[in-house]
Amino acid sequence: MSNQSDLAFDALGDPMRRRIIEHLAEGPAPVVDIATRLPIGRPAVSRHLKVLADAGLVTHTPRGTRNLYALAPEGQRPLQQWLVSAWDSVLGSFADYVKEES
Q: Any contact of residue 27 with other proteins (CB under 8 A)?
A: yes
Q: What is the nearest approach in angstroms of other proteins to the Cβ of residue 55?
A: 9
CB nearer to other proteins: give 16 or 47. Answer: 16
CB nearer to other proteins: give 26 or 65. Answer: 26
Q: Any contact of residue 92 with other proteins (CB under 8 A)?
A: yes
Contacts of 24 (CB under 8 A, 6+ apart): 34, 58, 69, 70, 71
Transcribe 1-66 into DSSP letters.
Answer: --HHHHHHHHHHTSHHHHHHHHHHTT--EEHHHHHHTSSS-HHHHHHHHHHHHHTTSEEEEEETTE
Q: Any contact of residue 75 with other proteins (CB under 8 A)?
A: yes
DSSP element (H, E) containing 94: helix 76-101
Q: Any contact of residue 89 with other proteins (CB under 8 A)?
A: yes
Which parts of this chain interact with other proteins (CB under 8 A)?
Answer: 8-9, 12-15, 18-19, 21-22, 24-27, 57, 71, 75-76, 79-80, 82-84, 86-99, 101-102
